[in-house]
Structure 1
């Protein structure tokens, strides 16, 4: 069997980040989203210990990225073309420093068909000098989380959705993940967050912090729209074992609770959409105060030796995602 995808906490050669570049998509949220990505890039390149490859999607986006971050140590501006910033889903999944897999991207089940998104995996792999193996499967990187030893977390809502690979079963999906990503065991959860246009990506629901150690949310405050989803995931995880036969340790982190974006409530805000950088963990927060502070404390205990940096992600959430969604690690 081929080597599994490295865990996100393994050393990185670089961290790819998408820079919001299209005013027609972001409208009034463009500048606030650029502000948030600038803060993220600076945190990754500074205390995060990363080389940041900041990918722009248009000439205007490149010019703005260079104005804000050109010349900053540890940040490389990479001109490119993409529909939007969600590199976790449109970019390749790296198997190592010189090998990556490019899956077919269909706009999260045909919801958003944007020009150049199907070219992102090739652009990133070429710039990284990695051989890109093409898979015929439709799959987004945010649908999976990896422990580095061949255990993969995912959700049935997304991976078995008829709007991706019609006819997929758990067995056929597992065969593709074993072939393309070295998966030895797949851990299946049910539904993801409400109002998530990705159809329940697992990187909003549950994340590995170490082999045998999984984080997932617990509802916080009145009106949390996903309390039942969180509880169902935690119960399922508590009964699972990983590819090495270890029973999972499950630690619950407070969710952001009820979050409104552009006047619409119940947005798919998640503290699980953090980035594990070489020397830090970057936590998205949404102006919720105590919940974000408690989540930061929980992550500090889960990732000893890494600084936890909480940064605003409200504007990015208006586009449907957060920090993990716009990033992709390139292993060392």
Structure 2
């Protein structure tokens, strides 16, 4: 496979790979001014709402023509995928798409009048990770700036490192300056005090050197209003994100977790062991209200049914996105698995239309629909 696949980055590299602490463009405590700022120590009282809460809008980003996608001859293909996600999402709620100033017109033509395109320079499409994580509280709405650093300095992020701050300033939303480095895709909440995370992406010196798991947990609880954190081991160093939870496990409803699972007869490897470890933890876990979790398997597509898809194609149906009155889910090309996933997700999100979208190129890049979107909750 060719392309900037987020699972395979270690094998073939990327043109803009950075290393070491010097890769951090905007670390905790930095301040460029120009926005209303909420000190991290005053973040208490804010909570990250569940994705099922009504949204005011969705933010997305347009992968620019000078990105790593272009070096793999995939720029136009991935832009087509992003336009498709934006168009279907815009049927249910407003969509604001960030695009390089010189690409605004092209992005607008591709997405249509139903999507608002604004001139903001970005490095890539992964708005879940680069954008702010919105929280609500007694004072209304705020956004947590998690200091995106290219997933630990693995990718060029000079522009993406400023996206959270830029969005919050534009929307006149107070900015909470997180005392750690993380990404939105590494946080999964049920809205009732439970936070689900992978240790591999957070307790990691490429993001939070010198911080213990207990220190990171305390900071996360304060930032998102959690009272209980469930830690999955995850998998460090096998993909660019160090295994984000949003491709592994999602809260579907109170006390219910959808768990991505490999197809039958998948030979054991590092990924199946990560699934098994997550299952063993979740089977014994209780949520913030003391309820034992119900696990629902969400089988991934059979690779033999995916045609010419790359060996590292991210076939996770768990990387879906809940919007107002609908759920936007990936369609990979394994008809049986696609139908099964739509049925399972639809049953656990009653009253919402299930909207499948083909995202072959985004998935070749090791990401999904959830990775490409970030919701702003309605107050």
Normalising by structure 2, report the TM-score: 0.81
Q: 1:301 to 1:70 in 2, by over 3 A?
A: closer
Distance in 2 (alpha carbons) for counterparts of 1:156 and 1:200 = 9
Paired residue for 1:80? 120
- 1:84 Cα deviation from its structure 2 partner: 1.0
Q: Secondary structure at the match of 1:98?
A: strand
**Preserved CA contact (<8 Å) 1:18 1:54:** yes
Alignment check: 8 A CA contact 1:192 1:202 kept: no
- The CA deviation at 1:23 is 4.0
- Which residue in the other structure is 2:90 paired with? 45
Q: Distance in 2 between matches of 1:183 and 1:261?
A: 42
3-state DSSP class of the match of 2:291?
coil
The one-character-per-residue Cα deviations of 1:136-170 (angstroms, maximum 9, x if unpaired) are: 31111101101112211001111111211123322
Q: How far is the alpha carbon of 1:221 from its aligned partner?
A: 4.3
Q: Matched residues in 1 for 2:241 and 2:307: separation?
A: 17
* Secondary structure of the corresponding residue to residue 179 of structure 2: strand
CA contact (8 A) 1:195 1:267 kept: no
Name the counterpart of 2:173: 130
SS in 2 for 1:326: coil
Other-structure match for 1:299: 345
Instruction: Tell me the distance in 2 between the aligned counterparts of 1:308 and 1:193.
Output: 33
Greater CA radius of gyration, 1 or 2?
2
Unpaired runs of at least 5, structure 2: 1-43
Correspondence for 1:32 = 77
Cα distance in structure 2, aligned partners of 1:107 and 1:262: 29
1:279-331 CA-partner distances (Å, limit 9, x unpaired): 11111132232212211111011111111111111111233311111110000
Q: Which residue of 2 aligns with 1:155?
A: 198
For residues 84-233 of structure 1, what are the structure 2 equivalents within 5 Å? Answer: 84-96=124-136, 98-192=141-235, 195-223=238-266, 226-233=271-278
SS of aligned partner of 2:251: strand
Unaligned 5+ runs, structure 1: none
Name 1:331's counterpart in structure 2: 377
| Cα displacement (A) at 1:228 | 3.1
**Displacement, 1:4?**
1.9
Number of equivalenced pairs: 327
Secondary structure in structure 2 of the residue aligned to 1:191 = coil
Matches within 5 A, 1:66-77: 66-72=108-114, 75-77=115-117
Q: Per the alignment, in what secondary structure is the counterpart of residue 329 of structure 1?
A: strand
Q: Equivalents in 2 of 1:264, 1:234: separation in Å?
A: 26
What is the distance in 2 between the residues matched to 1:326 and 1:318?
13
- 2: CA distance between counterparts of 1:295 and 1:146? 21
**Could you tell me how far apart the structure 2 residues matched to 1:227 and 1:216 are?**
12
Q: Are 1:261 and 1:314, in contact at CA under 8 Å, matched by a contact in 2?
A: no
Q: Name the counterpart of 2:8.
A: none
Residue 250 of structure 1 aligns to a residue whose secondary structure is: strand
Go from structure 1 to structure 2 and tell me whether the alpha carbon gap of 1:261 and 1:142 turns closer, same or farther (over 3 Å shift). farther
Tell me the equivalent position of 1:14: 57
Mean alpha-carbon deviation: is it higher for 32-41 or for 225-234?
225-234
TM-score under structure 1 normalisation?
0.92
1:122 Cα deviation from its structure 2 partner:
1.1
Q: Secondary structure at the match of 2:257?
A: strand
Distance apart, 1:223 and its partner CA? 3.7
| CA RMSD, 1 decimal | 2.1
SS in 2 for 1:138: coil
Measured against aligned partners, the alpha-carbon deviations of 1:8-66 in whole angstroms (never above 9, x if no partner) come to: 000000011112222442122111212111111111111xx21111111x234312111
Identify the residue that residue 363 of structure 2 maps to in structure 1: 317
Cα distance between partner residues in 2 of 1:146 and 1:200: 17
